[in-house]
A and B are shown apart, each in its own frame.
Chain A
């Protein structure tokens, strides 16, 4: 079982460029989400999804788009990268069972915007 797979692991962009962070899970989890992590600020929720075709905004959605065309995939798009989007991005998936809703995280994608 691969779990949650994120690509790329590292990326450097110039201001104004666009890119897509890929996320795939093979656990048949219905829930998927994207977080960004900045020093001293913990994990902040960008977008989340409760199933294919359904997405919603989290705490810091501006500058990011998502789509969920399949259960397995949940890509995160940066439309016009800004230095403020320099961060480590984590994708996570979960399923509702026993109430705990345990998140399984990908290894992370480190993005630098120059």
Chain B
């Protein structure tokens, strides 16, 4: 099966940079995705990495190392609105519709 590990909580200061790590185990790899979820809301897609390296989208970047089965989400110039839970996810090799999520990292931002 597929499994993903992420830290349960991370705390950072407004304006700073924070990195949320994700390690995964999968029998076949089709890329690593990241989702954001605010309290009481639905998850929303942030980024996707299929190849090694860094993908940048504004203040958010995502990194992948396939040889290490590891990725991270980097949030820069943190704002209070970035307080949320962040999930990494992988596709199961058996089906494109079978997406497995990590347990999530709750990011708390202090003024």
A binding-site residues for B, Cβ under 8 Å:
30-33, 35, 40-45, 48-50, 56, 58-59, 90, 92, 94, 96, 99-108
Contact = CB atoms under 8 A, between A and B. Distances in A.
B99 A45 contact: yes
A68 to B, nearest CB: 11
Given A42-B103, A43-B87, A101 B42 contact: no
A50 B98 CA distance: 9
Contacts, number: 73
Contacts of A42: 87, 101-104
A59 B45 contact: no
A35 B42 CA distance: 11
Nearest to B88: A42
A99 B66 CA distance: 16
B48 A103 contact: no
B50 A108 contact: no
Interface residue tally of chain B, by bracket? 20 to 34
Output the residue of A31, A49, A102 with the most chain B CB within 10 A: A102
B101 A43 contact: yes
B64 to A, nearest CB: 13
A40 B35 contact: no
A105 B42 contact: yes
B8 A40 contact: yes
A56 B98 contact: yes
B95 interface: yes
A40 to B, nearest CB: 7
